[in-house]
Amino acid sequence: MNKRKKASPSTSRSARGGHLLSSPKGAAGSTKSNGNKGTGSGRRKAAPHKEPASTTLALAAECTVADADSLKERLAGLLDEPQPVTLDIAALQRIDTAGMQVITAFVRERAGHGRPVEWRGTAPVLATAAHLLGLTSLLKLPA
């Protein structure tokens, strides 16, 4: 007889950052001491502000569970972009529910902050998956 272990508090959603596209707390943006106490001029260099190279992201031919982490990272870099972000879906040939989940979380998060997502190209597989999962209106896909 197998017993299931209860999930530890460290794996709770709030501990992971609250939404699908956020980094775990302390993972990004944390600083480490260089061990040099009291040395130097006391001035800190400002971290360079990292701007996305473009507000257009071309999706790969496949957006599957195997590619979900990479897609999530690429989209997370565009979450706070004030300009509309364009997702180029012209090359998309295959998508599974993991890919749909990452894209939907991105669109939903941006919409929640009044930041639009635009679409370039068409991808029948994306339209079909969105229809089957009831996400067509949320994603606002092109006709």
What is the spatial order of strands in the sheet that 85-88 belongs to? 56-58, 85-88, 117-120
Structural domains of the chain ordered from first start: 53-143 (3.30.750.24)
- Which pLDDT band, with edges at 50, 70 and 90, does 21 fall under? low
The pLDDT tens digits for 60-96 are 999 999 999 999 999 999 999 999 999 999 999 999 9
**Average pLDDT, rounded, for the chain:** 77
The pLDDT tens digits for 124-142 are 999 999 999 999 999 998 7
Q: How far is Cα 86 from Cα 11, in angstroms, rounded to an integer? A: 32
Q: What are phi and psi of 94, to 5 degrees?
A: -150, 135
> Which one-letter amino acid corresponds to residue 118?
E
